[in-house]
Structure 1
Amino acid sequence: MVTVDYSLRRQVVTPQRVGAFFGARSIAIVGASSSSSWALNLLGSLRLGGGVEHLTFVHPKYSVLFDRPTIPTLRDLAEPVDLAYVMVGPNRVDDILEDAGAAGVKNVVVLAAGYGETGADGRERQQRLGERAVELDLTIMGPNTIGFINAVDGISPWAVASHAPPLVGPVSAVFESGSMARATYEFAQAHGVGSSIWASVGNSVVLTSLDVLEYLIEDESTRAIALFLETVREPDRLFTLGRRALEAGKPIVAYKAGRSEEGMRSAMAHTGAVATDDAIVDAAFRQAGIVRVESIEELVSTAGLLGHSRRLPRGRRMGVVTSSGGGCNIIADLAQNNDLALPAWHDETVTQLREHLPEFASVLNPLDTTGFGHARARPRPTKAEDDLMEIAVTDPGIDFMFSMMTPLPPAPPADPDFIESRMKIIGEIVEAAPVPIFLSSNTCLDVADYPRRLLADNGLYLLPGADLAMSSIGHMMRWVDQRERILSRPALASHQSQAAPASAPTGTWAEDEGRNLLSAVGVPLVPARLVTSAAEAAEAANAWPGPLALKICSRDIAHKSDVGGVVLGIEGPEAAAAAYRDMVATIAARVPEADVRGVLISPLRGPGPELLVGVTVDPIFGPVLALGLGGIWVEVLGDSSLRVLPVDATMVKEMLRELRGAAMLRGARGTDPVDLDALSEVVVGICHAALSVGPALDTLEVNPLRISAAGIEALDVLVTTRPRKENDGE
């Protein structure tokens, strides 16, 4: 999408300006008509919000709209309004902006479509719109937006049908899709997820998702932030804001739409098959401390849980009490899927629980209270799961408690004393519990007004069904883990492009050039000698007893083995000389146009643990490191780990531990463990070598990086670069 450069628009998207935008108490509606459903929806939302103090209609043709007098243009305002909501076609928007600038209006919502989403002409129109807005000192939301809801202040310039006043709460959301903003808002309202700000930024010509995110990190009413992203802009800024949100204790939960089907970054390297676009987004979000979810329902449920939870678990050990045996089975399966542990109850807990259960009951975790428990008389207005949960939550072996609640009545019963007293007691149990308690409904049904009030009045939040509950808790724990890990170390400076060396080739580098690049930053390499004659090959063979490897060295040959450019297991001077002559002749016949620099001869290393270490350049995030164990682990099992550069040794060790084949590095099946500290430093060195190439870098791949008791060595290196541009390194 087209946007104006951040350095130019910074003055109109500061948190202070964005706060004033969302706090607009006086609004001018420009171009509305009495027959427009957009206008009717907007008026309905404003009435339900109730926080707009002054409303003015602007129209050159009508003197009265919606029983209110109009003015012809914004220039006719007696004094500037806080916000203009523009409801005209794209061919008239530019003139309205000029009027807004002349009238001293600073904030504008542009409803119109027909901009960057429509092709080249639309993109050019959008670019002009953004540039002129900055010149006029205007903060614009849109174009192609439905507006926003500020539930805390009751300000709702939101051009879709609303049926009830917005629920006020701790979750704020930013969407790059108007329809998804609407759908998720309705889902949130239906499940009691109260909000602070709910915004649709549309095409983001001036005001972007990250501008709103920066404001929300400072917003006192916001405790958790939901993002719906169609693309990622300003990745360095995303990392900066992600860390600031972690420092502020405000979780960011994101749904990224548009998973790419393109798997390869480079046709010449294994790294390309690993570093797919979507896998890089995953890695980048983890590095930024952002939790990525797989559905818009998870987005709302997870942000709701994180926003409404005043306490977070210390770990993943979950205690479960519920009144359904089938529910226990479901929860156990879902817990495993979300890396949540179900430890056995401690003996003392078992003893206390047995006192309240029939003899036939199994005291397990998850705990089924059995139908018998509901028939027993109780000294207070509770159900069996309430009493047993109160006992079980004190177990010293759990980090949090989870319970599926029996359905709440959709409307006040004839005698509401029991249910209202019960909810009060549950609220007290949750408040007094030594660890957090999370509650869910059995299924993802809407929560009616009456049970919603019961929950809110007693400080309770109800997750929407067991499936979303378990995934949301799993995401919560991932955020807790990420926050602790990221904040435990200093932030790394963002990658700064360097000028590409003037002598660097374009395209595929000859392997000796790649070796020189690694050697310059201290990366250990297998010894090798570039020879240009059979006599030199024989001489080199005398230097290394044992089998040798011979590889053709040419910028024109990336896949050496495909054209007979690799020979292994050669021993002795005569065999080396013969292999040299055969290889050169073979290459001359198969690739006659190749400019051959010579043949690299090196000792042939035996079998041992090997790594693929590759750096490719993503068009959005820039250089990305891919790590994987060699052989089938990468090629067949897809076992790899990614990070956006820069990285340090600690991050590399985390990557190594993430590999499914990590046991091989720890000394599995009697093998010697790998020195992970030394290995991580070597990988960091390879990354430094890649970054030293500058913006022309396409791929740097060491495959394999061999690990043995004798040390760590790069056995093969591939470097490819793109043509340098005039402004590279500026």
Structure 2
Amino acid sequence: MAADEDPPGYPRAWEADVVLRDGSVAQVRPIRPSDGPALQEFHAGQSDESIYLRFFAPLKRLSDKDIHRFTHVDYRARVALVMIAAGDLVAIARYDRLAGPDGPRAEVAFNVSDRFQGRGAGSVLLEHLAAIGREAGVKEFVADVLPQNRKMMGVFLDAGYLVEHGFDDGVISLSFPIRATRQSEDVRVAREQRAESQSVRALLNPASVAVVGVSRSRGSAGRDLFTHLVRGGFTGQVYAVSSSGAAQIEDHPVYASVRDIPEPVELAVIAVPAGEVHDVLLDCAGHGVRAVVVISAGFAEVGEQGAALQHELLRTARRLGLRVVGPNSFGVLNTRPEVRLNASLAPEMPPAGSLGLFSQSGALAIAVLDSATRRGLGISDFVSAGNRVDVSGNDVMQHWIDDDTTTAVGLYLESMGNPRKFNRIARRLAALKPVIVVKSGMSAYGVPPGHRVRATQTRPEAFAAMLAQAGVMRVENVHQLFDIAQLVVHQPIPRGNRVAIVGNSDALGALAADSCVAWGLQVSHGPVNLPAEASAEEFRQAVSAAFEDPDVDSVVTAFIPPRALAGVAVAQTLAIAALDSGKPCITTFLGIRGVTDALSARAADGTRQTVPAYAMPEDGIRALAAATQYGQWRDRDRGEPVSPEGISRTKAEQLIDRVLAGSPRGRALTADETRELLGHYGIEVWPSFPVQSAQEAVETAERLGYPVVLKSVSPIARTQPVTAVRTDLVDAAAVRQAYAALDARLVPLHADRYVVQRMATPGIACVIASSEDPLFGPMVRFGLSGAPTEVMGDIGYRIPPLRESDVLDLIGSVRAAPLLNGRDGLGPADRAALADLIARVSVLADDHPELASIELTSVNCHRDGADVLGASVHLAPAFRSDSDRRTMTVDA
């Protein structure tokens, strides 16, 4: 077998690229027999103490027998993982299965290189090893640890598992179940956030930058990048790298390669032809560079040959431990005075501020930055991801969670690779600061060339629902993004939807009031229309009265100054009044747009607050409505993650494994299997009995007892404008008559698949479903049965895991939801019972990615509960982008 050939049974799916605690990149993969020399070298480089802590003996050298035993595993009962960083083996983790009274157990052991300790390698390997163990049916890990091995004990104790320990004969015995818990998941997510945040922080705060591809001639991308860095006032060291043979450029020495630079380099900005980028990466890694920004075009956006170059770029960068922005990137900026990094194609550094911007589009990047500058909006960071082969919007959002300078975030997304992870990160970020997203629909037509995106099978409404669930403000274009940004950056977030309107134009006042009504805001004060020649004092009194009104949450003003000098006085009056009020204020002020000094006031603590100005009231009120909805989302108690009682995950897993063992490609569950699986999650499905004749229907009805229901279960019947059900059948004659009537209608449609079921309490029929989407992962759906769902598409969507508020929002999101309040003699439906069913379906779908689809086809909601009258489940091999182990995937 060749050194690089995979051994039999090698599980390639276990391979993963990971970000470590310090922001560096490493690879986790199963061990191979060919790793023997690397393992021996790893062992030889360990200190005597580390060797003793691992083997409980001063094992100076591993024997050939030891090497063979460690590197030859079956990937089932004996599993071993290695971590590779910059080509070196730096850590090993393994388990060996044992027999145990409480199910399969496995003994685990870890060994981390001395030079790599403290970077979170052990924690990452434990996550991956536990996930592999869970998939293989292992229930518990056990380990023997020497008392002085505090680091390894910390890896186990800090992972969020319930660890038990005992002491015997000088050794601490640890044991813990490896089933994922809320605490272990919280630990994993928090570690992921810290690592990815640190990775981006290192990218945006380098102490030194090398620009590769600096040409002698002005106007080239490399020369422009170098000039922008120098003239932008970058506070670190800047180096020029070029093969042009120039000795100096702009009084800076020119180096032939990054390796020739005598000092360390933390960031490289690459602007060379696409075919040369690979060699530049090797050069950068050899000099210890940690991150690169690839401005170069000519990758996947130009066709198959470029796509191959882009794939090789990613593989090389991950193998070398580099983070990559791009390719085809516009660059990155950090405006903070202590950094002043303009590693971009923008000629001028935008003003410093607190708005973080992320853009996938390089072509639109200059327009985005120009728009921010034109409006006077200060930027903290700007990242253009280009083809986003590595660093993504998810990574940058992780950074902004921790960044105190950034108080609001705007993202221009052309595609999304991991919506499930985006939802998780965006929700956490939006709980702290406003998030605004420009994104078109999720169809394949909106995906630019060069972006790696899996096809989605869900509707565009699902994406909009996902953003709303995460508290994200979605807008249609960059103009609207900055309309909201200039409000949320410079004004308090509205606490309610009550608005006061004050101005000196009847027309603008009426227009503002109409816009408020259209956008769901309540005009509770005014419109107050002052005379056209009203003085600054009159304006101050009117605006102050609006701010002081306890029934007002936000103030909208519109002013057309009769003279320039009068306008300045009114603007200052408005700025001071808004500063003292603590309530948000927007204005339409003739001749002013954006954020200006004229509408700014400074508080006693030195902070500056500005009233944002809009060309027309409609623009400002649309932004105010978005900020108001965001404020209501942020202030709302979203409740705890749903966690229904009476769930048996283990039994459900066993059923799923049993079915897939017999049908590896998946299949629909039988009626009995469906009832069993759903029953393990506390969902009772009423039995129904197939019948093939009127006589058989009568016999079944008499066995069940009257009244009964006769209905078609053919999927075709649900899409046709015909009645496919007969209810409240009280005797044999009624059953025969119903069978004949249904047969007459449904036989021509080939929808004559009938069942008999006992009659349920009259109520409202609903559908609760979930499907595993290739892009979104599990997507829970809810709607009312019949025309609202099948004809009008009135369906609500949410992505698990759900909180209590998510479930209630999902029920209320459909337009037909008021029918649940009762009508035509029916009392209100039991929404609590309905919410419990949705919660159980969401947890079931979230727990088991093998569930390709779950559908409770007929949920009868009535005053006393919610009965599941029909259900179907389809299994398929699992694939989910956001797994239960840290790995670098295709992100937003």
Q: Secondary structure at the match of 1:679?
A: helix
Indicate whether 1:523 and 2:683 are aligned.
Answer: yes
Percent of aligned pairs with the same residue? 25
Counterpart-to-counterpart distance in 2, 1:482 and 1:640: 21
Counterpart-to-counterpart distance in 2, 1:195 and 1:207: 20
Contact in 1 for aligned 2:346/2:366 (Cα 8 Å): no
Counterpart-to-counterpart distance in 2, 1:385 and 1:626: 51
Letter in 2 for 1:540: T
Q: Secondary structure at the match of 2:309?
A: helix
Indicate whether 1:49 and 2:224 are aligned.
Answer: no
Q: Deviations along 1:71-126, whole A, 9 cap, x unmatched? A: 21111111123322111011001111111122222232111122233344433322
Contact in 2 for aligned 1:612/1:704 (Cα 8 Å): yes
Equivalent position of 2:556 in the other structure: 402
Equivalent position of 1:478 in the other structure: 629
Equivalent position of 2:95 in the other structure: none
Residues 204 and 643 of structure 1, relative CA distance in 2, 3 Å threshold:
same
- 1:190 is displaced (CA, Å) by 0.5
Q: TM-score, normalised by structure 2?
A: 0.67
- 1:280 is displaced (CA, Å) by 1.5
Counterpart-to-counterpart distance in 2, 1:513 and 1:141: 48
Equivalent position of 1:460 in the other structure: 610
Bigger mean CA offset, 538-547 vs 172-181: 538-547
Q: Deviations along 1:607-635, whole A, 9 cap, x unmatched? A: 64221222122222211111122333334
- 1:45 is displaced (CA, Å) by 3.3
Counterpart-to-counterpart distance in 1, 2:546 and 2:741: 77
Residues 442 and 210 of structure 1, relative CA distance in 2, 3 Å threshold:
farther
The alignment yields a C-alpha RMSD, in angstroms, of 4.2
Counterpart-to-counterpart distance in 2, 1:589 and 1:425: 76
Task: Choose from 457, 460, 464 the match for 1:282.
Answer: 464
Bigger mean CA offset, 182-191 vs 450-459: 450-459
Residues 440 and 371 of structure 1, relative CA distance in 2, 3 Å threshold:
closer
Contact in 2 for aligned 1:22/1:150 (Cα 8 Å): yes
Indicate whether 1:184 and 2:368 are aligned.
Answer: yes
Q: Deviations along 1:320-369, whole A, 9 cap, x unmatched? A: 111221111221122123221101x4xxxxxxxxxxxxxxxxxxx12221
- 1:513 is displaced (CA, Å) by 4.7
Counterpart-to-counterpart distance in 2, 1:567 and 1:450: 69
Counterpart-to-counterpart distance in 2, 1:168 and 1:192: 10
Q: Deviations along 1:108-146, whole A, 9 cap, x unmatched? A: 211112223334443332232223223323232111101
Task: Choose from 306, 324, 347 the match for 1:162.
Answer: 347
Equivalent position of 1:433 in the other structure: 581
Counterpart-to-counterpart distance in 1, 2:698 and 2:787: 35
- 1:383 is displaced (CA, Å) by 6.1
Indicate whether 1:503 and 2:659 are aligned.
Answer: yes
Q: Secondary structure at the match of 1:312?
A: coil
Task: Choose from 543, 559, 562 the match for 1:389.
Answer: 543
Q: TM-score, normalised by structure 1?
A: 0.80
Task: Choose from 532, 535, 539 the match for 2:699.
Answer: 539
Counterpart-to-counterpart distance in 2, 1:205 and 1:408: 55
Counterpart-to-counterpart distance in 1, 2:747 and 2:781: 35
Equivalent position of 1:625 in the other structure: 780
Indicate whether 1:314 and 2:513 are aligned.
Answer: no
Letter in 1 for 2:502: V
Contact in 2 for aligned 1:498/1:729 (Cα 8 Å): no
Q: Secondary structure at the match of 1:157?
A: strand
Counterpart-to-counterpart distance in 1, 2:326 and 2:508: 45
Letter in 2 for 1:7: V
Q: Deviations along 1:277-296, whole A, 9 cap, x unmatched? A: 32111222222222222221
Larger RCO: 1 or 2 (CA < 8 Å, sep 6+): 1
Equivalent position of 1:341 in the other structure: 522
Equivalent position of 1:369 in the other structure: 530
Counterpart-to-counterpart distance in 1, 2:614 and 2:234: 30
Contact in 1 for aligned 2:712/2:725 (Cα 8 Å): no
Indicate whether 1:664 and 2:819 are aligned.
Answer: yes
Letter in 1 for 2:682: G
- 1:189 is displaced (CA, Å) by 0.8
Matched residues, number? 671
- 1:476 is displaced (CA, Å) by 1.0
Q: Secondary structure at the match of 1:502?
A: helix
- 1:644 is displaced (CA, Å) by 0.9
Equivalent position of 2:284 in the other structure: 100
Residues 561 and 262 of structure 1, relative CA distance in 2, 3 Å threshold:
farther
- 1:173 is displaced (CA, Å) by 0.8
- 1:509 is displaced (CA, Å) by 4.6
Letter in 2 for 1:20: A
Equivalent position of 1:11 in the other structure: 24
- 1:35 is displaced (CA, Å) by 4.2
Counterpart-to-counterpart distance in 1, 2:687 and 2:539: 69
Contact in 1 for aligned 2:638/2:806 (Cα 8 Å): no
Indicate whether 1:296 and 2:309 are aligned.
Answer: no
Letter in 2 for 1:317: R
Counterpart-to-counterpart distance in 2, 1:80 and 1:617: 47
Counterpart-to-counterpart distance in 2, 1:492 and 1:239: 19
Q: Secondary structure at the match of 1:132?
A: helix
Counterpart-to-counterpart distance in 2, 1:37 and 1:203: 21
Residues 576 and 371 of structure 1, relative CA distance in 2, 3 Å threshold:
closer
Contact in 2 for aligned 1:289/1:486 (Cα 8 Å): no
Equivalent position of 1:326 in the other structure: 507
- 1:490 is displaced (CA, Å) by 5.1
Gaps of 5+ in 1: 264-273, 346-364, 375-381
